[in-house]
């Protein structure tokens, strides 16, 4: 008979012998789970497609819209973006986005002056939220200018899904902050409200056709016919119109060809030059009064341009 003092040592030895077997079993379970436990495809069914899109937009992931499109639609849109970049006047495009970035930098630098000028002291704006909203607006403009959208050269090779995941997501986040400048906060009270309160249910499904019922807040339930295109479900009406939409978009690019755009380019460059003059005036403003004077100059310029367009 073994002594009582030896019992703990024997128990410990048995535990040590069992430990390698338990570890090996755990590794086997993990390996099996990695092979069979892949998450289900959210776009495999009509109702889960809509649910995935709604959830993605709630989480400010606009790339979900791209991922929900059929592969042929994604190719069409990518080709359209690249054709646009190859056709558009690079000087006008790049100068426009440079102005957007400059406006963001000026807004950032002149924020305190803008707040002191009383320009935002209006009943339709939230004075307490103005500083944060101005910061977000400045960052939004700068983000757009510095993004892959900011120059024709990068748009020529743009990956739309990556652009939506990076720039698109940042724009959504910053737009939510800018929206708070208005007491009604349209981002939260409209877009986010609808996303949080929209439900989708499957009514019927066949091989390549289905019907889902959308329940939007404040509206009667609506049944939406869907069809399968490639490996995705899309509204039947969109599928029917898609070829004509793409053809119309490609035809529209012809208006940007150099020989057709020549006359409008001179007008565009004149407008961009006027905007740059105004931005220079704002940059030079050091007092609220000077800033208000620059604002009035902007309004006069807008009115003059509007009258010119009506007369032309």
Residue 277, CA atoms < 13 Å, CB-side half-sphere: 9
Exposure string over 14-41, b if 16+ CB within 10 A, otherwise e: eeeeeeeeeeeeeeeeeeeeeeeeeeee
Going across the sheet that includes 209-215, the strands are 199-205, 209-215, 222-229, 232-235
Q: Which residue has the higher pLDDT, 275 or 73?
A: 73
What pLDDT was estimated at residue 38?
Answer: 64
At residue 310, the pLDDT reads 63
* pLDDT, position 71: 97
The predicted pLDDT at position 125 comes to 85
User: Does the structure show a pLDDT above 70 at 126?
Assistant: yes
- With a cut of 50, say whether residue 261 has pLDDT above it: yes
- Number of residues in the chain: 312
* DSSP of 250-270: HHHHGGGSHHHHHHHHHHHHH
Distance, in Å, from the CA atom of 249 to the CA atom of 84, rounded to the nearest integer, reads 10
pLDDT of 172-198, one tens digit each? 999 999 999 999 999 999 999 999 999
What pLDDT is recorded for position 180? 92
The CA distances from residue 56 to 1, 50, 62, 117, 165, in Å, are: 68, 10, 7, 40, 11
Judge whether residue 283 has pLDDT over 80: yes
Res 135 pLDDT > 50: yes
Query: To the nearest whole number, what is the mean pLDDT of the chain?
Result: 86
9 Cβ neighbours under 8 A, 6+ residues apart? none
> Taking the model in full, what pTM does it have?
0.80
């Amino acid at each position: 008979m073994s002594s009582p003092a030896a019992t703990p040592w024997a128990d410990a030895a048995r535990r040590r012998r069992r430990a390698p077997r338990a570890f090996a079993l755990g590794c086997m379970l993990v390996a099996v789970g990695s092979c069979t436990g892949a998450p289900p495809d959210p776009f495999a069914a009509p109702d889960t497609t809509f649910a995935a899109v709604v959830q993605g937009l709630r989480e400010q992931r606009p790339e979900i819209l791209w991922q929900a499109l059929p592969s042929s639609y994604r190719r069409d849109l990518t080709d359209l973006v690249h054709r646009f970049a190859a056709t558009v006047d690079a000087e006008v495009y790049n100068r426009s986005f440079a102005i957007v970035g400059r406006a963001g930098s000026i807004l950032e630098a002149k924020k305190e002056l803008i707040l002191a000028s009383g320009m935002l002291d209006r009943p339709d704006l939230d004075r307490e939220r103005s500083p944060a909203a101005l910061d977000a607006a400045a960052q939004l403009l700068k983000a757009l200018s510095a993004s892959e959208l900011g120059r024709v050269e990068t748009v020529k090779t743009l990956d739309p899904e990556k652009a939506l995941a990076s720039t698109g997501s940042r724009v959504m986040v910053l737009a939510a902050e800018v929206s708070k400048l208005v007491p009604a906060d349209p981002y939260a009270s409209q877009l986010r409200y609808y996303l949080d309160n929209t439900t989708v249910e499957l009514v019927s499904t066949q091989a390549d056709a289905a019907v889902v019922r959308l329940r939007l807040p404040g509206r009667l339930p609506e049944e939406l016919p869907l069809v399968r295109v490639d490996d995705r479900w899309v509204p039947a009406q969109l599928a029917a119109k898609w070829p004509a939409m793409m053809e119309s978009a490609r035809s529209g690019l012809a208006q940007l060809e150099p020989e057709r755009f020549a006359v409008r380019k001179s007008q565009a460059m004149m407008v961009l030059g006027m905007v740059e003059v105004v931005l220079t005036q704002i940059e030079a403003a050091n007092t609220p009064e000077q800033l208000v004077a620059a604002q009035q100059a902007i309004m006069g310029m807008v009115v003059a341009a509007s009258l010119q367009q009506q007369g032309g």
